[in-house]
Amino acid sequence: MLIRSVDLPYVCGVKSVLPKTGKPEFVLAGRSNVGKSSFVNALLQRKSFARTSSTPGKTRTINFYAVNDAFFLVDLPGYGYAKTGPVEQEKWDRLIRRYLSEGEDIEEVILLLDSRRVPNEMDLQMFQWILAATGYEPIVIITKMDKLKRSQHAKAIKEIREKLGASKDCMMIPFSAETKSGREEFLELVDKILRENS
């Protein structure tokens, strides 16, 4: 897929009314610092269109990136990081849950997991929650693959799959924002989903 245009027409805070985009939305969920915003930049071939940081908790709004006027990538704040304290975190969790359960144009929820980490309780909950809410296992993006040696790749993916209790059909795409590996595979998948819907 060629990226012809990108735009950021909607940015939502806790008090915002969620937009009705009328286009398929591919939502990026995952722990703080897993690489969601870097994933957006790598897909869109922009260095820092989505703001990233080595400190967790960078993204504090729901950002709707319009791509080719055809679909949206939705960058969520990460879970599992409460710099702002439990009250603020709870507001956020509520907004994210509201969006995920009520968002009328959500096409796919994509769960990002760090290749170097065993999924934790929140990751497992998110996986199960997406499965329950949509009836499907999420597409899983395994990030930061460049940080592993080649020889460790297969084992890391197998361990994540086992820990999640994912079926053999659950799609897992190894990805690196550094090398861009996995980028084409993901974009082709988006293309296929969009074609199936048209």
Q: Residues 32-71: x/- map of binding to ligand GTP (CB under 6 A)?
A: xxxxxxx-------------xxx-xxxx------------
Q: 6 to 45, contacts with Mg ion by CB under 5 A?
A: 36-37
182 binds ligand GTP (CB under 6 A): no
User: Considering CB distances under 5 to 8 angstroms, the limit depending on partner class, which of Mg ion, ligand GTP, none binds residue 56?
Assistant: ligand GTP
Shorter beta-carbon distance to ligand GTP: residue 69 or 185: 185
Contact residues for 183 (Cβ-Cβ < 8 A; gap 6+): 42, 43, 175
The single residue among 21, 33, 41, 59 that binds Mg ion, judged by CB under 5 A, is 59
Question: Tokens 């795409």 sit at which residue?
Answer: 173
147 binds ligand GTP (CB under 6 A): yes
**CA distances (Å), 15 to each of 42, 71, 169, in order?**
29, 24, 38
Shorter beta-carbon distance to Mg ion: residue 78 or 131: 78
- Which string of DSSP letters, residue by residue, matches 78-135? PBS--TT-HHHHHHHHHHHHHHHHH-TTEEEEEEEEETTS---HHHHHHHHHHHHHHS
User: In the numeric block, which tokens belong to residue 29?
Assistant: 């969920």
User: Considering CB distances under 5 to 8 angstroms, the limit depending on partner class, which of ligand GTP, Mg ion, none binds residue 32?
Assistant: ligand GTP
